[in-house]
Structure 1
Amino acid sequence: MGNWKLNLVVLWFGNFLVMAGMTMIIPFLPLYIQDLGITDPGKVAFWSGIIFAGNFITSFFFQPLWGKLADRYGRKMMLLRSGFGMAIVMTLMGFAGDVWHLLLLRVLNGTISGFVPAAVALMSATTPREKMGFSMGTLQSGGTAGSILGPFIGGLLAEWVGFRPIFYITGALLFLASMLAMFVVKEKFDTGKAAKLPNVSVVAGLKELGKIPQLSALFAVTFLIQFSMLSSMPLIPLFVQHLHGEGEMLAFYAGLVGSITGFSNMIASPLLGRLGDKIGQERVLAVSLVGAAIMFIPQALVQNVWQLFAARFMLGMFMGGLLPSVNALIRKHTPDGMESRAYSFNSSFLSLGNMIGPTVGGALSGALSIRGIFLIATVMLFANAVWVNRTLIRKPAAASE
């Protein structure tokens, strides 16, 4: 097995554990907060929101810094820094004495995070260019699988072992994944060559990368993808309730509809990544954007849960071609020596979409309903496809003539 394939297997496992650890607390977070002494329902909801968001807010600000250091000292070093750091912080969450302890630890976890963009940067540097799409798609499927199964695993463990042991188990698994990466993952990184490069600040690095029109377009595409996809996510359980009524198995159907997009995304990512290696990642990205836009239309028209289930399954199939294509194209257009920085900026734009999308969707839901938000997502994704066609397909083709 080539080094890049072995790296891919280990980093897939690492991405899965990191994303599962991030989302595992979703089912029991309000209950854990109650165990920490907060009993008022309004306060429990408030603390649940800020504790869950705290991780992503600090991650948004600190990702570019870790990307800069990765380009200077090596991606593997940043990977291990993040992996071991999160293992410690996650374990400490199990010892939290009150909600402030839990909030500060979640904020700290976001500050030291960076495993996923470091893994993407490392794989982009070690994978043969003709296998880049397959590599990025497979790596993406690991994170997606973790995001899907994390809440499910967390809910099961909460029933079996209680809340606090979950953090100890997650910390131990992250430590194991980091140890595996330390001994198995290989990276050829010339620190002497990297040290000779100009020590560009984070802001200057963003300006330099921003001068490359393809990268600016890809960063914006990442933000708009996450914004449009997540704007309706918090409302899905209420929409399922509207379609199904107050009957039995409501929670089951809500969970099924919420997770099916991730399952089909996980299946499609490696397949569309491999297709992109053959026909071009730009075309896969453009077609996937159009397909995802179209798949939001039936969601606005559905009359029962199973119609919604089918539409969201197909949405996930097209989503599988989005972020892997973006990651492959970022490597294609990024100057040598700035790969980690480019992926870290892209991760920040992804976090920004994750934060703003649900907020705006929730704010607009009263005026438009979730059906209207689905149609807004359609318009945004169609506009995104037009932008990709103009900046990543037409302009490079015109320049080469």
Structure 2
Amino acid sequence: MVNWKVNLSVLWIGQFLAMAGMTMIMPFLPLYLQELGVTDTKQVAYWSGIIFAGNFVTSFIAQPIWGGLADRYGRKVMLLRSGFGMALVMTFMGFATDAWHLLLLRLVNGTVSGFVPASVALMSTNTPRNKIGFAMGTLQSGGVAGTILGPLIGGILAELIGFRSIFYLTGGLLFVASLLAMFLVKESFNASEARSQPRVSLWQSFKDLAHIPQLPALFAVTFMFQFALMSPQPLMALFVQDLYGKAAYLAFFAGLVGSVNGFSNMIASPVLGRFGDKLGSEKILGICLIGSALAFIPQALVSNIWQLLAARFFMGIFMGGMLPSIYALIRKYTPEGMESRSYSFNSSTLSLGNVIGPLTGGVLNGFIGIRGIFWVSSALLLLNFFWVRRTLLSSRWGNRLPGE
């Protein structure tokens, strides 16, 4: 077994930089578009939306393809491909002179991305089985930390060094992280044995994995988790304004509400991952689904900003245990040699939630408002729990591995 602790440390840094780079542009994207010549307010909003979503659309399509190649040629190769590719694309974003350039580069970035699923696949296949939950939780905390701090860092750097310089800096940091992975991350992978296996099409791989009842349930949890998290997100600032009023520090509180669940998520992920190693990831996943579903209810009932902050912090604790449990269970139920494909399909469902969640939330807001969206998210997570209970927690499937 390779030194999994070294791998975990290096990949944590890579996950942080990859997710920070993805989210760092959000605070100043409309302002950067204005610098590129888009001046009409409606056009700025339109371009901001499609540029942000473009990355996830191409990522949804490309991830399973890279996953198949990773199972055949190695996860580290895909890790480096993604890291160096994103570093290059991010740097080019600083040279954009038109909104079309930025959209095209975001589409390319989504296509070459895959650092996160490649990291997860490499860690899961090169970590002792009794440490996988802890490793997945710690690894996720790096990505969550990048997601939380990325917008904050981006906003600060925009004031200090300007928009274009942020892209150059982010590209450089991703390049350094990829170099660290190249020289320090070790992988136990039998390339000749993997290549000797018959080639299987993407569709056939999906069908093979879908026949294992636990995996579709896990993919559905991932989608629902991200959908529920993202559907109220575009409306959160307006909800904060309704609760807090147009008073001083409104922008600060809007940002805090958007990130407070990420802080509790980051803290809880390694802890719940370790509990998963001891008690079983199936049980931790079931508890986290119920807890997250219940945590959406007080958000629909709050009457002031402090109640909303407390409810979202509480929700983040349970959401912090979901992805580590899902990653550990995917490793448990996926046949040997198909791990990367399985994680990549899961990553695609995550990207799908990132795209469909905000769109659906925007549509539903016109009918039921954001409080109604919280109720819908709660109901969907509860329904998802019953599916997980049927496929993972029942006596028929709970302790059964594929082929047994």
Band the TM-score falls in, shorter-chain normalisation: over 0.9
- The answer on 1:99 being equivalent to 2:99 is yes
1:180 equivalent in structure 2: 180
Deviations 1:81-123 (A, max 9, x none): 0000110110000001111111111110001000000000000
Question: Equivalent pairs: percent with the same residue?
Answer: 67
Query: Are 2:2 and 2:126, in contact at CA under 8 Å, matched by a contact in 1?
Result: no
**CA, structure 1 residues 248+53, in 2 after alignment: closer, same or farther (shift >3 Å)?**
same
**CA, structure 1 residues 74+307, in 2 after alignment: closer, same or farther (shift >3 Å)?**
same
Query: Are 2:264 and 2:314, in contact at CA under 8 Å, matched by a contact in 1?
Result: yes
1:202 equivalent in structure 2: 202
Query: Are 2:282 and 2:398, in contact at CA under 8 Å, matched by a contact in 1?
Result: no
Residue identity opposite 2:156 in structure 1: L
**CA, structure 1 residues 41+284, in 2 after alignment: closer, same or farther (shift >3 Å)?**
same
* Separation (CA, whole Å) in 2 of partners of 1:85 and 1:9: 21
Please provide the CA RMSD for this pair. Answer: 1.3
Residue identity opposite 1:60 in structure 2: F
Alignment of 1:100-249 (within 5 A): 100-249=100-249
* Separation (CA, whole Å) in 2 of partners of 1:236 and 1:40: 24
**CA, structure 1 residues 193+397, in 2 after alignment: closer, same or farther (shift >3 Å)?**
same
* Separation (CA, whole Å) in 2 of partners of 1:398 and 1:205: 24
Alignment of 1:364-375 (within 5 A): 364-375=364-375
- Measured after TM superposition, the shift of residue 397 of structure 1 is 4.4
2:59 equivalent in structure 1: 59
**CA, structure 1 residues 397+339, in 2 after alignment: closer, same or farther (shift >3 Å)?**
closer
* Separation (CA, whole Å) in 1 of partners of 2:400 and 2:287: 22
The alignment partner of 1:212 has SS state of: coil
The alignment partner of 1:28 has SS state of: helix
Alignment of 1:180-329 (within 5 A): 180-329=180-329
- Measured after TM superposition, the shift of residue 353 of structure 1 is 1.0
- Measured after TM superposition, the shift of residue 399 of structure 1 is 6.5
- The answer on 1:396 being equivalent to 2:397 is yes
- Measured after TM superposition, the shift of residue 225 of structure 1 is 1.2
TM-score (norm 1): 0.98
In the alignment, structure 2 segments of 5+ residues that lack a partner are: none
* Separation (CA, whole Å) in 2 of partners of 1:75 and 1:342: 13
Deviations 1:121-178 (A, max 9, x none): 0000101000010000000000000000000000000000000000000000000000
- Measured after TM superposition, the shift of residue 396 of structure 1 is 1.6
The alignment partner of 2:25 has SS state of: coil
Q: What stretches of structure 1 move > 2 A for 4+ residues in a row?
A: 397-401
**CA, structure 1 residues 371+94, in 2 after alignment: closer, same or farther (shift >3 Å)?**
same
1:343 equivalent in structure 2: 343
* Separation (CA, whole Å) in 2 of partners of 1:188 and 1:128: 12
* Separation (CA, whole Å) in 1 of partners of 2:16 and 2:73: 25
Alignment of 1:8-87 (within 5 A): 8-87=8-87
**CA, structure 1 residues 35+277, in 2 after alignment: closer, same or farther (shift >3 Å)?**
same
The alignment partner of 1:303 has SS state of: coil
Greater shift in the superposed pair: 162-171 or 213-222: 213-222
- The answer on 1:361 being equivalent to 2:361 is yes
- Measured after TM superposition, the shift of residue 226 of structure 1 is 1.1
User: Matched residue pairs, number?
Assistant: 401
1:385 equivalent in structure 2: 385
- Measured after TM superposition, the shift of residue 62 of structure 1 is 0.3
Deviations 1:342-400 (A, max 9, x none): 00000001111111111111100111011111111111111111111110010324869
* Separation (CA, whole Å) in 1 of partners of 2:24 and 2:203: 34
- Measured after TM superposition, the shift of residue 2 of structure 1 is 6.5
